[in-house]
Structure 1
Amino acid sequence: MSEAGALRQAQGPGRRQVVLATHNPHKVEEFRGIVAAARPDLEVVGYDGPEPVEDGVTFAENALIKARAAAAHTRLPALADDSGIAVDVLGGSPGVFSAYWAGHAKDAAANVALLLDQLSDIHDPHRVAQFVSTIALVAPGGAEHVVEGRWPGRLAHAPSGAGGFGYDPVFIPDGQDRTVAEWAPEEKNAHSHRARAFRALVPLLEAL
């Protein structure tokens, strides 16, 4: 039985469920922490269905592609996040190509290494960057909403910290001197770009 099916049996009739359209276990864990803090009545269900081709050229387009596919497959309201890091001196890149910056292997360490190499001669005042998260909510009936969260900061010169994932080891939020990979998960979940986007989404969840 799929996780979605198992949860339908395990949860009571009054429990609301929403499927998170990702096969990334790190994102599932992070979203469950964010949602638990903001909407404890909402259960985030993991997605085990087919992955659509993400051929959008914006975060919003890719988020909607994933959420529509998950809603159609599970018949549950679906959340999908498309996110990445945008570096000012690179014109907003890697952006939607963040996961593939060093190639289609989606190698996070290689992505970070390439980005740091590209910025090797860039001094601190010009290492401005921001994490961007766009979350799409799609209901089985067809209603759609899109929100965005941005987390400003700068890039470190070398990775630091063992937590988080993706570009967390080289991203230092504004007002901080530690990379996100040095933060506790609860701390990240309270301040991240995904948390900011989800807070904007909370009022829209009432329609579920």
Structure 2
Amino acid sequence: MKRTIAVVAAGLRQPSSTRLLADRLAEATRRELVRLGAEVDLETIELRDHGHDLVNNLVVGYPSEGLERVLRKVAHADGLIAVTPTFTASYNGLFKMFVEVLDDTALVDKPVLIAATGGTGRHSLVLEHGLRPLFSYLRALVVPTGVFAAPEDWGAAGVTEEPLARRIDRAAAELAREVGHRDPPAFDDPFESPVPFSELLPRD
């Protein structure tokens, strides 16, 4: 069975440690799903590429075509990896805007892996005090292990070193297991059973 994982990275710079962490989590999840016998599509979304569209959506009340495609990818994915940098002890504004324009039901019962980066390990509580309550409110299924990466976690050999690699592998395995035993999201096609034109006309 083919599985799709949406990967949302809210980093603002290039190169970005937030994107680097998102890529490592995505690859670890892909490996685990393949081990479980699934085909995997990874859909990586850099929110910085959609910043203007997110602001416009909040102002005018509807998304651009490009942003609509992004929102659909997230809603239709089997699982979500969400990674944000830490700003003032919370997720950044770009990430918050994205969550605000998501449909209220887009993440219901969807397995989600939360992760964050920050300038110091003291910001790691953003996972439990910011991201986990946010996704619980959206009725997503947040896997137990969240992953936080501070500058000291990025050693000379990258994430192949412990202990970050252990956290990445554990979180990815949890996400893969949740995705693996669930049916793909089901969505009604509005064009499959259209209302006949005669029924739309007023009756005498």
TM-score, normalisation: structure 2:
0.40
Q: Relative contact order (C-alpha < 8 Å, sep 6+): which is higher?
A: 2
Q: Which has the larger radius of gyration?
A: 2
TM-score, normalisation: structure 1:
0.40
Higher helix share: 2
